[in-house]
Structure 1
Amino acid sequence: MIKCIVCDLDGTLIKYDDTMEKRTEQLLKKCIAQGIEFIIATGRDINMVIDFLNQYQLDCDLILNNGTQYCNKELTMNDIYPMSYDAFSKISTILSSYGYLLAIHTNQGKYSFVDADAFWDYHYKLLLASKDYKGFLPEKTFTTRSGYLRDFHYAKDAQEMIEKGIKVLKIDARHLDAYSIQGVKQQLNIDGLDISSSFEDNIEITSSITNKGKLLEKVIKEKGYAYDEVAVFGDGQNDVPMLQLFPYSFAPKNASQSAKDAARYVLSTTNEEGAVFAGLEQLYKAGILKI
């Protein structure tokens, strides 16, 4: 019987405007009310999640930054798994030389090597160029200056951050020329780092010590859940490690091929159509989810 539901956010639980499909919201809240635990596992940092949690009044544990950070629902626990300073210095030098915009997620907020105005301007151009939005930007944390620049800091270079003792949890590197990503990825084979993506136009770099799957496995063992008591939903390359681990893992119709290959079940609905609802309904009809 399912005792825990774990969901990625972008492309899985939420729609392009950061809202949940109505049936999904209702069923998920019904599950939570029945005592089934809900955990978010996302590539986002806490500042990109907090508005969503408040909007839907969700009180849950968080796996953040592709599995390099874990916060309990009381936010009294904050386990982090940063990359080494040597790896950070090498990778940031390579990406900067190719003109990538670096959003550096840390234990002290979001950093970049350009100031706030330049950071936002480049990010805004990326948003307008994204096929996900098609020139129309919904009002949400990721698309508003005040939301995206929340807890933003400028650093001259990696060395400045290292000297300040800032712990780097994830680098989100984005470029207006999406085709250039494939070429540069071949140069990023640096010991101690994992390379993945959530979208076509980005590269996500984290410590290879952990990922969504490794951290989720640690969390569910500490909570005492068996693998077949956990339902997992994800759509991206960064979700593959957790989709592979659990017998009840689901990828929506819009998922990447790597996520579909890793998941036990591929749904016929997209995130926009309520894929998580469809997966939970499937478990309910099979008698595995009691609500």
Structure 2
Amino acid sequence: MIKLFASDLDGTLLNAFHNVDRTIARAIREVTDAGAHVVIATGRTMLSNREHGFDGLPVEICGSNGAIVVGREGILKTFPVSPELLELLVPAFPGICFDCVLLDGTYATGSRELRDRSFDADPPLRRIALRGMREAMAATMHFDTPLSYLLEHEVYKVNCRVPDRALGEELEAFVAEHADLVVNAPFSPVMFELTDPAVNKGASVAWLARHFGYTEDEVAVYGDGGNDIAMLERFRHAYATVNGSSAAKAAAGHVIGHCALHAVPRHMVATVRAQRHRAAYTRIE
């Protein structure tokens, strides 16, 4: 039986507008009322189940690509990046605004104007779809953060957008050269999502399953992009949305419907109902 359902957010659990709606909320409640766990496995920073539209829904979180694991009552485990990485990375790329995730907020190394320019190359429809999320994130961020401040605190994830191809290749080379300090698992080609090399969604979901006493065969996972690959490859019950990348579909081996049609919440509910039906049938026998 599946006892833990872990899903990415954008392009997977959320609807086409990157929101939680009533269908998604009802599905989470039905699954958790049945005794299973719903885990948000996301690249976003999520420190409680009252963020990003979940409004207190009974979920656990593997946020920041798995660097911060959060239970319903608070943080369970964290995986910080090495200070050595920050000492090397930030001075080497002064033209990039790095968003550094701490437990009390996100601290950007550059100005808001520098960060906003990294979105200018997005297609118009994507800029519209993500405008609300961008503005909400920027409203809570701290800009022009000195490196000295970051080195005094634990940083769990470093994000940046690099639409300039040449600059992106330089950063890719840096990551490859320092593979002992950092791994990059982005959801889009222009994104860099940097964590400790031991961190990924799959490892954190597996840690959380063990925390609850479940085996990995009792876990189902859902994803659509690059930062989901490790998670989709790790678990036998792995599903990619049809709108997902080719790599995600190949890693999962199972493809379900489109996020806009609530494929993931519907699949979770169908799985729970099928399990309940089998259990009732077994009792009758």
Q: With structure 2 as the length reference, what TM-score do the two structures score?
A: 0.84
Are 1:238 and 2:227 counterparts? yes
User: Unaligned stretches of 5+ in structure 2?
Assistant: 279-285
1:77-226 equivalence runs, <5 A: 77-94=75-92, 96-97=93-94, 99-114=95-110, 118-119=111-112, 121-127=113-119, 129-131=121-123, 133-137=125-129, 140=132, 142-144=133-135, 146-156=136-146, 158-162=147-151, 165-177=152-164, 180-189=167-176, 190=178, 191-226=180-215
Change over 3 Å in CA distance of 1:102–1:133 after alignment to 2: farther
Asked if structure 2 preserves the Cα contact closer than 8 Å seen for 1:192 and 1:208, the reply is yes
Deviation at 1:184, TM superposition (A): 3.1
Query: Per residue, is there more helix in 1 or in 2?
Result: 2
- Displacement of 1:70 after TM fit? 1.0
Pairwise CA distance, 1:242: 1.4
Match of 1:251 in 2: 240
Aligned-residue sequence identity (percent) comes to: 22
| Alignment match, 2:12 | 12
C-alpha deviations, 1:133-191, integer Å up to 9, x for none? 34425663x232x54331525322x23421xx211111111124357424531232212
Offset at 1:29? 2.4
Instruction: Find the aligned partners of 1:5 and 1:182 in 2 and give their Cα distance.
Output: 36
Question: TM-score, normalised on structure 1?
Answer: 0.83
Q: Which residue of 1 aligns with 2:71?
A: 72
Give the aligned partner of residue 270 of structure 1. Answer: 258
| Letter paired with 2:134 | T
For residues 173 and 21 of structure 1, the distance between their equivalents in structure 2, rounded to whole angstroms, comes to 28
Which structure 1 residue ranges, 5 or more long, are not aligned?
A: none
Alignment size in residue pairs: 276
